[in-house]
Amino acid sequence: MLTAVLTVVGLIILTVGIVWLIDNFVPKKAKGILNLLLWVLIIFLGYLTFNSVYGEIKFNQLKEKRYKVVIESLKDIRDAQLAHRTVTGKFSNSFDGLIKFVDTANFTITQRRDSTIIDAELTKRYGGVETTRDIVIIDTLGFVPVKDSLFGADTRYKTMMNVPVGKEGAKFELKAGKLVEENIAVFEASVDKEIILFDQDKNLVNKEKQVVAVDGVNGPALTVGSMTEVYTKGNWPKSFNTKKED
């Protein structure tokens, strides 16, 4: 945008210069028409400058608004996936499986307590001298439905595969697996920025997909999790959070 603005401003300055030359060196008969045409050109170029600046401002405002809505959906997916790993030891690679899990699974509520018991082997080894050892006992106190814990009475998890704004009918891409070397479960949910901003200026969208900035959403997509490292957060800065980030 800066290059375009500088180009237009340069043309305006050049046109003003031409107006001055005409005013000082062109015969009076031709001066009026030429001045009128050049001032029309100046006004037109000024309009182009304003429109290019204001157009990008409106794009950024709409982009941030849509990103915040999409990010809330990605957080729901992340929360459901983390619950899935807690209960099953792995992440789900399909939304159908993830939704079914939220509908049916329970968190186990446990309590850890320290206790002391007689160590029979050591007691025998020490000729009958009673010897004890410390242990940790885990008591099961009950079960809480995952659905109630994460979403309460809200059923939005049933449509969490749908991208909430942007191109109609678009869905998030969901992957899950394990890091081969570490044998650690990983997942990733994402949506291309082009889907979120499908109805915006293509040049601005392409520029947005190449963003690398501390205060921006880097890369071509909004993403939570990673298939290449142990990471369960999103690729957006804190400024895009509408609620406190965990």
Instruction: Say how far apart CA 1 and CA 110 lie, in whole Å.
Output: 58
**Which is more confident, 81 or 244?**
81
**Which is more confident, 95 or 44?**
95
Out of 27-41, 79-93, 110-124, 173-187, least confident range: 27-41
Confidence (pLDDT) at 132: 75
Answer yes or no: are the C-beta atoms of 230 and 179 closer than 8 Å: yes
Domain ranges of the chain: 2-52, 62-104+153-240, 106-144
CB atoms closer than 10 angstroms to residue 14: 12
Confidence (pLDDT) at 142: 63
- pTM for this prediction: 0.72
**Which is more confident, 117 or 1?**
117
The residues facing 171 across adjacent strands are 162
